[in-house]
Amino acid sequence: MSTNHHPDETHRRSLIKAVTWRIVATSTTVLIVWFFTGEPLLATGVGIVEVVAKMLLYYAHERAWNRAVFGKKEAAEGPHDVVPISGFDEDNRSEEAVG
């Protein structure tokens, strides 16, 4: 499926990206806290707080960037901005005849 017709991400896609990233990032945080403190319960507690806070922040960050115009290409505004594959326009005239 081409993203040219729908350049904005859906809320669902942003949420799934947030969840999968949080699994990786929180696992890393838990292991680091456990390594430095030697306390698995403390590490787990930090991981629980961190996963909720950072998942919400990540989702908000994704949605904010999705609304930002910076770095996005403009989508074609109408059928006249697209050259048909056949080489003919809507009235079946060749591109050269349309001029």
Render pLDDT for 31-84 as a digit per residue (tens, 0 to 9): 999 999 999 999 999 999 998 888 789 899 999 999 998 888 876 665 555 555
User: Could you tell me if residue 55 is inside a domain?
Assistant: yes
Q: How far apart are CA 17 and CA 44, in angstroms?
A: 22
Q: Taking each helix axis as running N to C, give the angle between helix 11-37 and helix 40-67, from 0 to 180 degrees, rounded to the nearest 10.
A: 150
Q: Residue 6: pLDDT above 70?
A: no
User: Could you tell me if residue 3 is inside a domain?
Assistant: no
Domain count, the chain: 1
User: Could you tell me if residue 79 is inside a domain?
Assistant: no
Q: Can you give the pTM of this predicted structure?
A: 0.49
Residue 33, token pair as written in the block:
């806290």
Q: Convert 37-46 to b/e letters by CB count within 10 Å (16 or more is b).
A: eeeeeebeeb
Distances in Å between the Cα of 42 and the Cα atoms of 10, 46, 50 are 36, 6, 12
More confident residue, 54 or 91: 54
User: Could you tell me if residue 36 is inside a domain?
Assistant: yes
